Structure 1
């Protein structure tokens, strides 16, 4: 079984500005700074933001729970020309639910000089027994992250951080 879930999030900042954040490690730094309570804490385990970089995202505890989930992902593609970043989960997150492969693709699509779309996509592969888990695969956290980052960039137009 394989499939994908995607969402386009329109944002009111230029594609170049948001790509400066999304392309490497700045996204994790910014999430830590402005959205760790919503998205989670990001820790760089290896690499400098290019292909091969491994990061760990520790999610905030769910309401009424003391436990935090996590996921580790490896950057597999950073396409500067097309503004596309792809990662593959290596541990935790949807992989912990039993999926064999989980890829996250983030694409920045320019609309005009002051706006763009952040396309977030999760591709998954796994055993047919996961059919009941598939409805829980959601890009909502990626959509929320795009909205929070765009709002921050709009309020602080001069720099991404």
Structure 2
């Protein structure tokens, strides 16, 4: 079974400015700092934020303990970043694919749309686990990013 979940929001900064946050590791560091009840720690296992970068995300007790994700696409022209789970979490529950995509879409020179999407594929025998997929953490990250960008507008 294949599925997607997506959310978007308008941010009152240029797409270029938003991508300076979304297209780098700064977004991960900001989420780690501003969402301590949701993300305990983010470790950079390998890389500098470009394709091939591997992060280990550790979550508070009582939730999915941790997982590793790998940046599979960082397209600075189209302003798209994708990461796929490579270890732990959803992969332990019958998912064969769990991909997160961040996009920054230019609306005009002073405003853009940020969109977060989760794409997943789950084995037929584990299809009930598809209900585990939630975009809540990505939405919280987008709100933190929007507040940061608006406050630090150039």
**Structure 2-normalised TM-score?**
0.89
Over the residues paired in the alignment, what is the CA RMSD in angstroms? 1.8
User: What is the distance in 2 between the residues matched to 1:139 and 1:45?
Assistant: 24
Report the CA distance between 1:68 and its aligned residue: 6.0
User: What is the distance in 2 between the residues matched to 1:79 and 1:33?
Assistant: 25
User: What is the distance in 2 between the residues matched to 1:102 and 1:55?
Assistant: 15
1:27 aligned partner: 27
- Which stretches in structure 2 are left out of the alignment for 5+ residues? none
- Given the superposition, is the C-alpha separation of residues 105 and 68 from structure 1 closer, same or farther in structure 2, using an over 3 Å criterion? closer
Q: Is the 8 A contact 1:101 1:125 kept in 2?
A: yes
Aligned partner of residue 6 in structure 2, secondary structure = strand
1:2 aligned partner: 2
Alignment of 1:11-160 (within 5 A): 11-61=11-61, 65=62, 69-158=65-154
Aligned partner of residue 13 in structure 2, secondary structure = coil
Instruction: List structure 1 runs of 4+ shifted beyond 6 angstroms.
Output: none
Q: How many residues align?
A: 154
**Structure 1-normalised TM-score?**
0.86
User: What is the distance in 1 between the residues matched to 2:89 and 2:104?
Assistant: 24
- Which stretches in structure 1 are left out of the alignment for 5+ residues? none
Q: Is the 8 A contact 2:9 2:113 kept in 1?
A: yes
